[in-house]
Chains A and B, each alone.
Chain A
Amino acid sequence: MMATIDTDGDAYTNPTWERYDRRTRLIRFFALLGALVLTIVSYQALAVRYEYVRTAPENMGNLIERMYPPDLAYSSTIVEPMIATVNIAVVGTLFAILMALPVAYIGAENTTPNRSTYALGKVIIAASRSVHSLIWALVFVIMFGGGVLAGILAITFRSIGFIAKLLAEEIEEINHAPIEAIQATGGNTLDVLIYGIVPQVKAAFVGIAVYRWDINVREATVIGLVGAGGIGVELNNRINAFDWQAVLTILLAILVVVLVSEGVSAYSRKKIR
């Protein structure tokens, strides 16, 4: 059904496409068919029993019923792990920035010293980005034991690639003309840095850092599930104790903290041009 609407729409808006319409239609039809088959095969592979799917909404309703009302008396207990969560996000982002700066420098085509450093930069970025922070947390919990330190390192290692990638792209965009102009006025290397390079990347850099911090607050709420500190540890304990009212309290607290940091992040990114 969707395919019909789609081709009709295009025939209407782009009369010139009519020549290719048959072919386009065929491609779209097979793409849709392929997607449908893939979905059905995937569903079969999951081997989900139908009655589970059927009762899922009911179960969900039951769970929510058991959660309500939230246990407000419990809220004072979660202040400390919540603060630890924000700590993990802030310190992790801070470390990540420090480590991402040199990686971005060698990972940007126009500043990297040679081909092999460029490749190294790209490898670090790819490795850091393709391992989820929860997996980094697992590894660091084994190395450092459970707690905040493992969490900070997990956040750091996951963020290096993200920050370095975006920053390297920004460095590659730098306009060289103003740098020459500063040199032509007799400015030294530091002057060139302060007047020529920093203003060109500053806004993007602050934006990237704040944005990543905002993502990291969210990530820091879950790394505790594998023991890497923060609110996740407490959440895991409450869930395993089937203390659902306390769970709802934690979920609401996470919601508030994440939304506030998202607001702060969005506001400061809008302010910085």
Chain B
Amino acid sequence: MLSITDLGKTYPGGDRALDSVTFDIGSEEVVAIIGPSGAGKSTLVRCINRLTEPTDGTIHLNDTDITALSKDELRTARQDIGMVFQEYALVERLTVMENVLSGRLGAVSTWQAFRRKFPAEDIQRAYATLDRVGLAGHENDRADELSGGQRQRVGIARAVLQRPEILLADEPTSSLDPETSHAVMDLLTEIAGDEGIPVLFNIHEVPLAREYADRIIGLSDGQLVFDGPPTALDEDAMNRIYRNGQEGTDRKRTELAELGRHGNQLGEHNNGQSPRRNTERGGNQPEHQSEESVSKEVR
């Protein structure tokens, strides 16, 4: 299905983000990529549809070598690869329907796209998919009117409408609170199951990876250091992924990773979802509120 051989990426600054990563994904497999920040998780996912250009190695989707394609051929190949992004990456000022239909941009002419005249079947499928992700009736809402969870559902619907042969997801839950994260991961894996296609996603939260993936790939410093089922992800494996293979008594870091907080970049949680997350974690809401109203009065 998807077969990655010796994939490497060196950024212009000389930063080696990926170093000869090799693995295969079979049809209908759900694969999670975990690792500390800067381990190359995002780079790996983005190299597969060449949003980031790999510097060496090959990527085969079925029989096509993605890395050898010209720009035009790459556009055609990208139609077979659905992608879900970490900050949803919706066009906020367009309607939900336009965002979903933009999954078909590769298949229609630019003129059709400009006039928003998509084939009847695409529109039917768009309605059906919106229904499937629980957003029936929202087609005329603007994307910026939706909540974070709803936006990510639109992101999934857009990817599904491509009729892809594989779904990629780059940190699909990084902007969502825990509850919504679960709902989105449920949807993503279920929908892939319905379509009979594999999913490859990278994720910070190890518990989510354990829960949803059939198989986990661990990256550390751009190198593949673990590849196996969730049951094989023991403390030793966690050490290899999160502590660069060093032996030590610093269990804190591993624990943090297990809690899913490891390496969370604070800047990513500014989408109106974080306040809820804070109250859930911090708990004591009434006190918080009274503090706020007091400060307001003083001002």
Q: Is there any pair of Cβ atoms, one from A and one from B, under 8 angstroms apart in the complex?
A: yes
Residues of A within 8 A of B (CB): 13, 175, 177-178, 180-188, 190-191, 194-196, 199-200, 202-203, 273
Contact assessment for A194 and B93 in the assembled complex, using a CB-CB cutoff below 8 Å: no
Residues in B120-137 with C-beta less than 8 Å from chain A: none
- Please state if A191 and B110 are interface contacts (CB–CB under 8 Å): yes
Asked whether B91 lies within 8 Å of A200 as measured between CB atoms, the reply is yes
The reply to whether B106 and A185 form a contact with Cβ atoms under 8 Å apart is yes
Q: Given A13-B299, A181-B158, A194-B113 in contact, is the A186-B90 Cβ separation under 8 Å? A: no
B183-223: CB near A (< 8 Å → 1, else 0) gives: 00000000000000000000000000000000000000000
Residues of A within 8 A of B94 (CB): 195, 199
Q: Which residues of B contact A186 (CB under 8 A)?
A: 75-79, 105-107, 162
Contacts of A175 in B (CB 8 A): 92
In the complex, 27 of the A-B residue pairs with CB atoms within 8 angstroms, ordered by the A residue number, are A177-B87, A177-B88, A178-B89, A178-B92, A181-B83, A181-B85, A181-B89, A181-B158, A182-B105, A183-B51, A183-B78, A184-B49, A184-B78, A184-B81, A185-B79, A185-B83, A185-B103, A185-B158, A186-B77, A186-B78, A186-B105, A187-B106, A188-B105, A191-B113, A194-B114, A195-B94, A200-B92
18 further interface pairs, Cβ-Cβ under 8 Å (given A186-B76, A195-B113, A199-B94): A178-B91, A181-B83, A183-B78, A184-B78, A185-B78, A185-B102, A187-B75, A188-B75, A191-B105, A191-B106, A191-B110, A194-B110, A194-B113, A194-B114, A199-B91, A199-B93, A203-B93, A273-B93
Q: Which residue of A lies closest to B76 (CB)?
A: A186
- Nearest first, the 3 closest Cβ-Cβ pairs linking A and B are A186-B106, A187-B105, A177-B89
Q: How near does chain A come to B63, taking the closest CB pair, in angstroms? A: 18
Q: What is the bound-complex CA distance between A190 and B83, given in angstroms? A: 20
B98 at the interface (CB under 8 A from A): yes
Alpha-carbon separation in the docked complex, A178 to B79 (Å): 16
Known: A194-B113, A195-B94, A203-B93. A180 touches B51 (CB 8 A): yes
Interface SS majority for chain A: helix
Chain B, Cβ-Cβ closest to A200: B93
Name the distance in Å between B202's Cβ and chain A's nearest Cβ.
15
| Cα of A196 to Cα of B94 in the assembled complex, Å | 9
Chain B min CB distance to A61 (Å): 47
Known: A181-B83, A181-B85, A181-B158. A187 touches B93 (CB 8 A): no
Q: How far is the CA of A194 from the CA of B115 in the complex (A)?
A: 10
In the bound complex, residues from chain B placing their C-beta under 8 Å from that of A178 are 89-92
Which residues of the partner chain B approach A202 to less than 8 Å between Cβ atoms?
93
Taking a contact as CB atoms closer than 8 A, the residue among B77, B87, B110 that contacts A190 in the complex is B110
Q: Which residues of the partner chain B approach A177 to less than 8 Å between Cβ atoms?
A: 85, 87-89
Contacts of B85 in A (CB 8 A): 177, 180-181
Task: State the Cβ distance, A171 to closest chain B Cβ, in Å.
Answer: 15
Q: How far is the CA of A199 from the CA of B143 in the complex (A)?
A: 12
Q: Which residue of B lies closest to A202 (CB)?
A: B93
Given contacts A184-B49, A185-B158, A188-B110, contact A196 B75 (CB under 8 A): no
With A177-B85, A180-B51 given, is the CB distance from A185 to B105 under 8 Å? yes
CA distance A180 to B94 in the complex (A): 16
Which of B91, B155, B158 lies at the interface centre, i.e. has the most chain A CB atoms within 10 A of its CB? B91
Q: Mark B278-299, 1 if CB is under 8 A from A, else 0.
A: 0000000000000000000011
The closest CB in chain B to the CB of A191 belongs to: B105
CB distance from B66 to the nearest CB of A (A): 13
Contact A182 B102, CB 8 Å, known A188-B75, A199-B91, A199-B93: yes
Once bound together, how far apart are the Cα atoms of A195 and B90, in whole Å?
10
Q: Would you give the shortest CB distance from B211 to chain A, in whole angstroms?
A: 26
Cα distance, A199 to B93, chains bound together (Å): 6
Contact A195 B89 (CB under 8 A): no
Interface centre among A177, A182, A186, A191 (most CB of B within 10 A): A186
Question: Are B93 and A180 in contact (CB-based, < 8 A)?
Answer: no
Contacts of B107 on A, CB cut-off 8 Å?
186
- Closest chain-B Cβ to A143's Cβ sits at a distance in Å of 41
In the bound complex, residues from chain B placing their C-beta under 8 Å from that of A13 are 298-299
Nearest to A16 among chain B residues (CB) is B298
User: What residues on B are CB-neighbors of A203 within 8 Å?
Assistant: 93
Interface centre among A175, A188, A273 (most CB of B within 10 A): A188
Residues on B with C-beta less than 8 A from A273 are 93
Give the shortest distance, in Å, between B166 (CB) and chain A (any CB).
Answer: 12
Query: With a CB–CB cut-off of 8 A, which chain B residues contact A195?
Result: 91, 94, 98, 102, 105, 113
A181 adjacent to B90 (CB under 8 Å):
yes
* CB-defined contacts of A183 to chain B, threshold 8 Å: 51, 78
Within the complex, the shortest CB–CB distance from B169 to chain A, in Å, comes to 12
